[in-house]
Amino acid sequence: NAGVTQTPKFQVLKTGQSMTLQCAQDMNHNSMYWYRQDPGMGLRLIYYSASEGTTDKGEVPNGYNVSRLNKREFSLRLESAAPSQTSVYFCASSMTDATDTQYFGPGTRLTVL
């Protein structure tokens, strides 16, 4: 039981490049989330998915898109990376909603030059 896995662990992009961050969970959870974590700030919700086939914007969705490919997988895409998107990105999942215990992945450290 791996919990929540994320790939890649590290990534460096140039401004304007695109990439997709992958996330998968094997706990049969219904809800999945993408957060970013910046120094001096708490985790901020980018997008979430309450169930397979549904996605919704969180607090800071601009510049990102997501896909809930199936119940296990939830990907985050940066279409045209900007330096302001330099951050550590965490995927999380929970059985029901965000007030249920959230299990986090190990994170992806992204640098945009």
Partner 1 sequence: GESVGLHLPTLSVQEGDNSIINCAYSNSASDYFIWYKQESGKGPQFIIDIRSNMDKRQGQRVTVLLNKTVKHLSLQIAATQPGDSAVYFCAESLPGGGYQKVTFGTGTKLQVIP
Chain positions contacting partner 1, by CB under 8 A: 4, 31, 33, 39-45, 48, 50, 56, 58-59, 90, 92, 96-99, 101-107
Give dist(CA 72, CA 60) in Å, integer: 23
Say if residue 31 is exposed, middle or buried (CB neighbours under 10 Å; 0-12, 13-18, 19+): buried
Nearer to partner 1 (CB atom), residue 17 or residue 106: 106
Nearest to 45 by CA among 83, 111, 89: 89
**From the CB of 65, what's the least distance to partner 1, in Å?**
18
Nearer to partner 1 (CB atom), residue 28 or residue 41: 41
**From the CB of 43, what's the least distance to partner 1, in Å?**
4
Nearer to partner 1 (CB atom), residue 17 or residue 71: 71
Give dist(CA 35, CA 92) in Å, integer: 8
Give dist(CA 105, CA 113) in Å, integer: 25
**From the CB of 36, what's the least distance to partner 1, in Å?**
11
Nearer to partner 1 (CB atom), residue 79 or residue 100: 100
Give dist(CA 1, CA 3) in Å, integer: 6
**From the CB of 80, what's the least distance to partner 1, in Å?**
25
